[in-house]
Structure 1
Amino acid sequence: MSHINATLQQIQPVKACVRKHLPVVVKGTCLLETHKEEQMKDLRCAVVKPSYSVAVVAEHAVELREYEEQDPQKCLPVLLLTEDSDKEYLDDLKNELEVAINTKRIQYGTLCFILLNCRRSYDPEKRCKESPLENVAVTHKLSAEEKRKFAGKRQVLEKQYEPEFILTFVLMSEEFTEDYVKQFVEHLLQGINRHTVVTRLILYVALLNTYVQNSFISQSHCEALLALTIHMERFRQHEFESSLSEQAKLVFLHLRDDKTHIESIRIIHPLVAKEILQQLLGSKTQSSLAMDLLCENVLFEHRFGREEYLSFLRALFMRRSRISKGDKYDSSFSPLIEHVCENEKSPDKAIDLLKEAFQHFHKDPFFAQQLARLHYTYEKFEEAKHWAETAASQLPNNSYILDTKGQVYRKWFQAKCTAIDNGNVPKTAQNTADAVETALKALECFQECERAAEADMENINSSGFFSEVKVGCSLLKLISSLQVFANGANGHSECMKYLLTDYIPEEVEQAWGPFHGRLKKLQKTMQDALEWISEDLCYFQTDIVADEEGTHQCPEEKISQPLLAKRSSVYGKYFSEGYSTTLLQSGQPIPTNLTPFQKRMIIYHLGGSNMTSILSKLTDQKDAIPDLQCILSLYPKNPLKANIGQRDIVSYIVANITLNCLSPQNPMVASVKNLQALCHQFPSDKRKCLPGALFLLTLLFWPEDDDTDHEKETKYQFVQSAVEHLEKGYWTKMKDIPQRKRRLYTHFFLGSGNGLDKFVHKRKFESVTKVFSVSEKRMKWFRGEAWKKPEIAKMLKSVSGWTENGVVYLEGPQKKKFSILPLHVPSVPHSDENITFYLGFTFRGLVACNIIVKQK
């Protein structure tokens, strides 16, 4: 009971800013609450114990909400406080609570639960400015009124206790100022014996608490290190505390886990731990202390609480800093490893630490992966290759490790290119053969990564595809700079002839003998990779990039819509005639002697290669209209009579729609009827249609108000067939990954216009919501507030339908039901109702947004 009350007392200031009421009691073990049985007027509150599963927490939260209540529809909201919970835990908890609300059939719009997450941050005020609707900064700074009250209380306490016995209170009253903490630790450490085991224990705990959030060492581990022999359990705590020095007694905070009942210790505050580490180490380095801790076998092999201890030790060497998780900066390695490399100026010591960790953690392949990354960061490529291969030999199907292996060769290739440029040697096939071989090895690794990522049903990793394109572009740059290919237009033609045909110039024939076959596949493999990325982004583009929670499963670069457009343009530039692109951009007539391949590559260069790149022009509108006009002019004048492929048809149609969004009534835009006619060239067997083709069928064949019944029936059949196959493709793409991790992206909404004007792209809403930050926009869309904006309501067309057993329908031809996926499931009324909604178009099919029950 005392522990529960103490826990609540610690978080009372946070609760006070929400409601000045005490929580109520409820049966259950995963929620902490005060034992005062009185109903609150506004909220019921509880603290979540994250050691319990989200399913159990959700179950007990529902019990708390319904405690002594008669009507589930009219219960008080429950405020759940979590402390430093990671995003995945919170997402899972939110999902479980939503499921519980739906299962209980609570009326949509009823406030049931409030999640309040307290997270450590080095710059809370900045994060609050980025999203003031979601965050409140709680800092070490006190208001004038709080300072007055703290001073008064401190005077009262100091009459009863010495300052060292009320350390936490004194630190809070001093606002954790750097000078005070420094002086406090300096005073604390006076007279300490630096050579005792207890002092070594203080250093170990300080090291962990400085670098690993919420870390501790179990009391059992401490007893093992101090070689204590406890004969009677009831004297255990007394004997342990008696073995500690006076300094240790003052700075150690004693904890007890509510679930496992394991007792542990940590330093009273991370700032104090950091200062202890700096002052107590003396001439010793943090790397040597970390090595001592790692090699402290009595701690490493101790059985009780071993899992928690090893997880903290692992995080010490592996966990990267993330601003999104409250850290000061984003790091490439763990803060300890970066400290050793930068402050101790010793990458070799950092490497030795990771090597030792690799051995102690039973040759863990992820430590080998970190060693590979650290080695290539400092251009130690032979060693990096060794460690990457070591990791891959143990986990040959892990796409993240295969990506790291590819990155070793990519960085190595970059270093070789730099050496060639700086060495002022002639760029001949002989002098570049080694670099070309390294680039091809990188491509091979990234293709292995792609295959492993596609086979992995539980993780998302697109980095192999994007890295393949990056290396391919760099390799094209090197090839085109060779003396044999660098002679203007003639040299470029020679280069294209070599890469795209069976032709092999005499100058490269022997030196590049082993590479010819792979180099001639370069254009096709890069194009395939770009198409794969585009399709993936079409499904799962998001307005924010999810946090990278893993320590090792973090790609080199996050793939975004603008980044894809940029790489597609660079790829097209190398395979298109430079002078042709110049002519097009200057508005001069298109040369008549361009081949279909040259035209396609110029389209790539201008950003018209795929749906994602084209739609990105709605965001980055600089030169978008002239570029789109050039793109359309490169297609046959009458596409209906030309024999163009399915991907080209998709790109052509999307370019028309995009140009119409930017420049309505533009004379270059084809009519809806012509675009519909072009869709008839898609395969009649919808299983052979590309997802982009199926998406366009749902878009272009959505019926108009003035269509005849026969026209509507024909169009609905097109749409229905396309939706069925989109749905199948969606679940294949989703794998076994929770849907919350890959938010479905709605590209277009049904507008109030006619023809192509009835397609409203989501970016058009930017003018209405641009005053808000990204996270605020998400909250406004999620709550439904954004839909109520008159500017948005004016753009969109309201569609009538109804619900049956939680399914949304609208009426198709001949009274047929046409089911529509609700974008937000809880918005569907539980009873059968007549409704209105906005219609959205996604790569899963049609979705219903802003569902509103019609008033009877």
Structure 2
Amino acid sequence: MDHNQRESPTSAVVSDEAVTQFENYWQEQLSHYVQKNPPRWSTNTKVFSFLALLNAYVPDSYLLKDECQRILGPPDPIHGGPPFEERMEPFTRFIHTSNPGPEHVCMIHPQVARKAVELLAVTGFTRSTTAKDLMVSLCGDQPQPHIIQFIKYLLTKREMQEGCKEKFSKLVSDVMEHENHYNAVSVLKTASNKFTQNPNFPQTISRLYHSLCQRIFYSNKKSQPGNIYTFFQYRQKITRHYRSAETWARNAINRAPRNSYMADTLGQVYMHQLMNSQHLSFTTHGVVEMANQAFKAFEDVEDKAEKEVVPQMEDPGGTVNISDSFNNRGLFGFIQVANIVFKKLDVNTIPDLGMQVETKFTFFEWYLTYSKPSMTTLEPHYFWKNVVLCYENYTGQRAAASTSFPGLLDHLNRGLFTSRGQRAFKQEAPSTQRELEIIRDHLRSQYEENPEDVDLAERYVLSNIILSNKMPNAPHLDLVTELQIILYVFLGTDVGLRNSEFYLLVLLLFWPEEHHQGQQEDDEECQATEDEEVNTRNGEDEDIDGLEPAQPSPAGLVFDLDLQQYVTFMERAFERAMYDKYLRGRYLLPLFFLGKGSGLSRWIHKSRLDAIVEENVDKGNRKMRRINEMWVSGNVWHLQKVRDILLPVRVEACQPWEREGREVWVHVGEKRIKARTEVNPDGPALGTTLFYLGFTIQGPVVFDVGAPHNA
């Protein structure tokens, strides 16, 4: 069982009772027995200590009975020796001999195992000694696959805490806490020597040496050495540890030369030396040299990450590295090093940094706008903060003033509890109506001067949609025909070869309006809800000024696009831009939802749903978790304000030969288009379930709401 996994009340009671029984029995018999029969020469105590260590830290771990018998030594039961259970006395009552499978031996409960490890350590038999002894005893020339798997988990599996991974495995962290760093290094060195092809062990050793440097820094922060000799010793020790960290990082790279995550370890070593250069008495030349080494290391990470592929693309020759997700650490590490350089050196000391920083900023702007690590996690708060500060330091421009396509999309997120700016800087003012009008007018002027620039056309069209979400009932925003004409001009050229953003706008603007029974009542309810929403979020906004009437549509102009074709174009553009490569393994964020309004106002930006969710979640340190639970559970779809503004769509199952992956048909007027869905596309309840339609940067996606409103 995972350390963070919650036990059921019944299981918790059982485990508490078992731990109490074990503690009592330990005091009565086991403590005395273990001291008289320590693991180093008592084989049954050794087997018990191995089982305790494995079951305390590795879920569902076990030893085969044959493995236990080999440790116990002769006589074997098949040669007339006593049964296994008898030889394991007095530990037998706390051991299972057929769980999780036949001939599998483990402790009766993980909590008992943890208590056993704790009490063994108090008696003098430490975690590090037991771990090394386990590897010596069970990892010979050809260790069993399950033993290899358990050792790797034991020493390198980092658990998630509040959306971030711990620095080290639970065992390694406990060794550092209850023993010391050097014992943790010793355990990892034993593993590295046993498993000479595995890069994870030298990588962890490198990180341990770096962690040791950080610990020395912090311990000396308030009490700097008092004389030159002591300071020299202090600096010498830090330098020696960093050299060890670099050596082991290179060892990891040599074992996995195409693995970007191993390469990142070396970049981290250089970056932290640069960060702490004042402790190492670096000269300006030394700082420049270390910065260049760090930049080079992270560029190597980026290069390796570019060449990594998803598991389905694995080649039989093994010439590429496999990764479920794109490793962004090379790009982000470059940003971090650039920030350090800005503080320590003249901005012009290293040439061309500004251009490279702009490129990295552009990447992260769309990367964080279009996706997040998973449905329930976000990047750490410092992520966007580093990107923004670096961009502003090297360009002199405000990141918040960006009018790129993803930059425009992010304007409506500002001020929300979950927005990246709010999380990075603790406070963020929402974009006002007036600010969005200025942006729209500026983009319109630019577009009118360059009507053949498709990028300007896209951004001008999007600025109107963004503004319509800020003031959804403003009549001047009903410029659909004018905006349709702007995009229509580009449809006849580069057919099927434009970017995902262009095809997203085509689908939004040319999506036919639904006219169904009760639509007028729904629109009135929607308008009332939107009025309330606008008054709540934008009460401080200024009045609309400079309005222009919508242009009439040209006589005889009829738009009848094949929307399915543009869905296909959008999916291909997603792949062509390599979004599928960079965003693989991440959750694609819905950018817009189909609403009940008309014109531009029927496209609901996700921020409006986020604002409604935040209103329904209590404040406190669990607010983010509660927001995530609302989305994951689907409760967001049952909030009345959400139902008031979103328009349900009719969904139909695709035939098996009609779909790729999880796809369904969505009825659009008298036509159908394919959309992705997270529900079972073969499910029998498609016709009786309510669905809402959203759009990611990949294309349309259907969200399962559940029973209809009147159910």
Q: TM-score, normalised by structure 2?
A: 0.71
Matched, 1:639 2:447: yes
CA pair 738-226 structure 1, distance change in 2 beyond 3 A: farther
Matches within 5 A, 1:357-756: 357-379=191-213, 380-416=241-277, 418-419=278-279, 430=285, 432-453=287-308, 457=313, 459-464=323-328, 467-472=330-335, 474-476=337-339, 478-479=341-342, 482=345, 485=346, 508=349, 519-520=351-352, 522-537=353-368, 540-541=371-372, 544-545=375-376, 559=379, 566-577=385-396, 601-602=397-398, 604-611=399-406, 614-615=409-410, 617-618=412-413, 620-621=415-416, 622-626=428-432, 628=436, 631-632=439-440, 635=443, 637-642=445-450, 649-664=457-472, 671-673=479-481, 675-679=483-487, 684-704=493-513, 714=559, 716-717=561-562, 719-730=563-574, 742-756=586-600
Work out which of the residue numbers 89, 93, 100 in structure 2 matches 1:250. 93
Gaps (5+ residues) in structure 1? 1-83, 85-118, 125-135, 142-168, 486-494, 499-507, 509-514, 547-557, 578-600
| Shift in CA distance, 354/682, structure 1 to aligned 2, threshold 3 Å | farther
Map of 2:236 onto structure 1:
none
- 1:788-826 Cα distance to aligned partner (Å, 9 max, x none): 5543332123456866758525356xx6x4323253453
Distance 1:215 1:744, change over 3 A: same
The whole-number CA distance in structure 2 between the counterparts of 1:711 and 1:389 is 69
Cα separation, 2, equivalents of 1:664 and 1:800: 25
What is the alpha-carbon distance in structure 1 between the residues aligned to residue 556 and residue 258 of structure 2?
51
| Partner Cα separation in structure 1 for residue 128 and residue 553 of structure 2 | 78
Shift of 1:475: 1.7
1:779 Cα offset (Å): 4.9
CA distance 1:680–1:295, change in 2 (3 Å): same
Task: Determine helix, strand or coil for the equivalent of 1:189.
Answer: helix
Is the Cα contact below 8 Å between 2:158 and 2:166 reproduced in 1?
Answer: yes
What is the aligned partner in structure 1 of residue 177 from structure 2?
Answer: 342
Q: Which amino acid aligns with 1:241?
A: E
Q: Which residue of 2 aligns with 1:762?
A: 606
- Identical pairs, percent: 21
- Matched with 2:693 is 839
Contact 2:447 2:453 in 1 (8 A): no
* Cα distance in 2 for residues equivalent to 1:830 and 1:715: 33
How far apart are 1:123 and its partner, in Å?
A: 5.8
C-alpha distance in 2, partners of 1:632/1:276?
Answer: 67
What's the CA shift for 1:265?
A: 2.4
Aligned equivalent of 2:621: none
* Count of residue pairs the alignment pairs up: 600
1:651-710 CA distance string (max 9 Å, x none): 554444334323446899794455445546768314542222222222233245799999
Other structure's SS at 2:597 match: coil
Q: How far apart, in 1, do the equivalents of 2:18 and 2:487 lie?
A: 67
With over 3 angstroms needed to count, the CA separation of the structure-2 counterparts of 1:330 and 1:842, relative to structure 1, is closer
In structure 2, do the counterparts of structure 1 residues 667 and 348 end up closer, same or farther at CA, with 3 Å as the change threshold? farther
SS in 1 for 2:302: helix
Question: How far, CA to CA, are the matches of 2:689 and 2:155 in structure 1?
Answer: 55
Residue from 37, 59, 62 that aligns with 1:194: 37
Please give the alpha-carbon distance, in whole angstroms, between the structure 1 residues aligned to 2:687 and 2:486.
Answer: 39
CA distance in 1 between counterparts of 2:409 and 2:685 reads: 42
Name the residue aligned to 2:149. Answer: 311
> Is the partner of 1:439 in helix, strand or coil?
helix
Structure 1's 343 and 641: CA in aligned 2 closer, same or farther, altered over 3 A?
A: same
Counterpart secondary structure, 2:166: coil
User: What is the distance in 2 between the residues matched to 1:218 and 1:408?
Assistant: 40
Residue 113 (structure 2) aligns with: 273
Give 1:324 shift.
8.0
How many angstroms apart in 1 are the aligned matches of 2:480 and 2:415?
25
8 Å Cα contact 2:158/2:169 also seen in 1: yes
Structure 1 residue 827 displacement after superposition: 6.3
1:254 Cα deviation after fit:
1.8
Asked if the contact 1:384/1:408 (under 8 Å) is kept, the reply is yes
Q: Deviations over 1:453-492 (max 9, x none)?
A: 467746333443x55245335425534764xx5xxxxxxx
CA distance in 2, matches of 1:414, 1:769: 40
- How far residue 526 of structure 1 moved from its aligned partner, in angstroms, is 3.4
Tell me the equivalent position of 2:56: 210
Partners of 2:300 and 2:111 in 1: CA distance: 44
Check conservation: 2:594, 2:692, Cα contact below 8 A: yes
The separation in 2 between residues aligned to 1:848 and 1:735, in whole angstroms, is 19
Q: Is the 8 Å Cα contact of residues 479 and 599 (structure 2) preserved in structure 1? A: yes
Residue by residue, what CA displacement relative to the aligned partner does 1:758-778 show, whole Å, maximum 9, x if unpaired?
A: 211233224554436345424
Partner of 2:229: none
Name the structure 2 match of 1:489. Answer: none
* 2:630 paired with 1:777: yes
Partner-residue secondary structure (3-state), 1:255: coil
Cα contact 2:55–2:61 (8 A) shared by 1? yes
1:655 to 1:272, Cα distance in 2 relative to 1, 3 A: same
TM-score (norm: length of structure 1): 0.60
Question: What does residue 583 of structure 1 align with?
Answer: none
- Conserved 8 A contact 1:746-1:840: yes
Structure 1 Cα separation of the partners of residues 94 and 286 of structure 2: 63
1:107 paired residue number: none
2:68 to 219, 222, 229: 222
Bigger mean CA offset, 693-702 vs 636-645: 636-645
- Checking the alignment, whether the CA contact within 8 Å between 1:209 and 1:270 is kept in structure 2 is yes
Conserved 8 A contact 1:409-1:438: yes
Conserved in 2, the CA contact under 8 Å of 1:185 and 1:275? no
Does residue 684 of structure 2 align to residue 796 of structure 1?
no
User: Is the 2:342–2:393 Cα contact (8 Å) retained in structure 1?
Assistant: no
The 5-angstrom pairing of residues 98-117 of structure 1 reads none
Secondary structure at 1:378's aligned position in 2? Answer: helix
Q: 2:12 aligns with which of 137, 140, 149?
A: 140
Three-state SS of the structure 2 residue aligned to 1:266 is: strand
Q: CA deviation at 1:334?
A: 1.4
Q: Say whether the 8 Å CA contact 2:499–2:574 is kept in structure 1.
A: no
For structure 2, the residue ranges without an aligned partner over 5 or more in a row are 214-240, 314-321, 417-427, 516-551, 618-625, 657-663
CA contact (8 A) 1:140 1:175 kept: no
SS of 2:51's partner is: helix
The 8 Å contact of residues 305 and 326 in structure 2, kept in 1 or not, is answered as: yes
Decide whether aligned partners of structure 1 residues 214 and 691 sit closer, same or farther in structure 2, where only a CA change above 3 A counts.
same
- 1:360 deviates by 0.6
Contact 1:823 1:849 in 2 (8 A): yes
Cα distance, 1:678–1:374 mapped onto 2, change above 3 Å: farther
> Does structure 1 conserve the Cα–Cα contact (< 8 Å) formed by 2:468 and 2:474?
yes
Amino acid in structure 2 at the alignment position of 1:243: R
- How far 1:631 sits from its partner (Å)? 4.8
Contact 2:53 2:114 survives alignment (8 Å):
yes
For 1:282-361, list aligned pairs within 5 A. 282-296=123-137, 299-301=138-140, 306-323=144-161, 331-344=166-179, 346-361=180-195
